Amino acid sequence: MPCLIFDFDGTLADTRTGILATAQEVLRRMGLPPADEAALGATIGLPLRENFTRGAGLSEEEADRAVAIYREIFESVGVPAIVLFPGVAETLKELAARGIPMAVATSRGQHSLEMLMHRLGIDDAIPPERCFGVETVARPKPAPDLVYVILGKMGARPEETLVIGDTTFDIEMGKAAGCHTCGVTYGNQSADQLAGASPDYLLDDLRKLVNP
């Protein structure tokens, strides 16, 4: 049976505003100037630490402190701005009703992922035991390790699995694991950026998974 593996940030949920607001508040609390929003936004989808080293130009030591502050304030600063993209809830519900196995593979922390899945009301379609955060593996995206873990847990074959995400990191991860890949163009990267990673499919609306 086909298996679907979804990214979370920028694919299921519009988290960009919340992530950027939290990161900029972290920098303010550290007495540092605001980061360039485009540079910071380009790192969404990577582990949080890289948001600060690559996106904000922080040193390794500064990034450690930034990550700690971010985790302390995210629920109060970032979470209120997070919403599902249009059609996501009904699409997941329909896929679950059809008996399609689904999982989430993300660079977000496990606790944060499970909290947001519940808050957004989609943990019935994809329960916590099928949600895999960055702590699951030693090598995060774009390494294929998260997908390997999910395939093993779900008894799925890569040639029957579709990895769906909004960044080249997701596409590279899926391709490296031998899966089919689909880029969604409404998230954090453009259709042109995604096309550079050569996904098998591009979608501008997740609802097209059930109504092409």
The pLDDT of residue 67 is 96
Q: What angle do CA 194, 199, 205 make, to 5 degrees?
A: 70
Contacts 24+ apart (CB under 8 A), 67-71: 69/26, 69/29, 69/30, 70/22, 70/23, 70/26, 71/109, 71/112
Point out the catalytic residue in the list 9, 123, 166, 170: 9
Structure tokens given for 130 = 């099928």
How many other C-beta atoms are found inside a 10 Å radius of the C-beta of residue 204? Answer: 11
Q: What is the pLDDT of residues 160-204, one digit of tens each?
A: 999 999 999 999 999 999 999 999 999 999 999 999 999 999 999
7 is catalytic: yes
Q: Are 139 and 180 in contact (CB under 8 A)?
A: no
The pLDDT of residue 1 is 62
Architecture of domain 16-81: Orthogonal Bundle (1.10)
Point out the catalytic residue in the list 7, 14, 145, 166: 7
- Break the chain into its structural domains and give their ranges: 3-14+82-209, 16-81
166 is catalytic: no
Q: What is the pLDDT along the chain (212 residues), one digit of tens a residue?
A: 689 999 999 999 999 999 999 999 999 999 999 999 999 999 988 899 999 999 999 999 999 999 999 999 999 999 999 999 999 999 999 999 999 999 999 999 999 999 999 999 999 999 999 999 999 999 999 999 999 999 999 999 999 999 999 999 999 999 999 999 999 999 999 999 999 999 999 999 999 999 87
Q: Which listed CATH number (3.40.470.10, 3.40.1360.10, 3.40.50.1000, 1.20.59.10) goes with 3-14+82-209? A: 3.40.50.1000
- Report the C-alpha gap between 196 and 26 in whole angstroms: 32
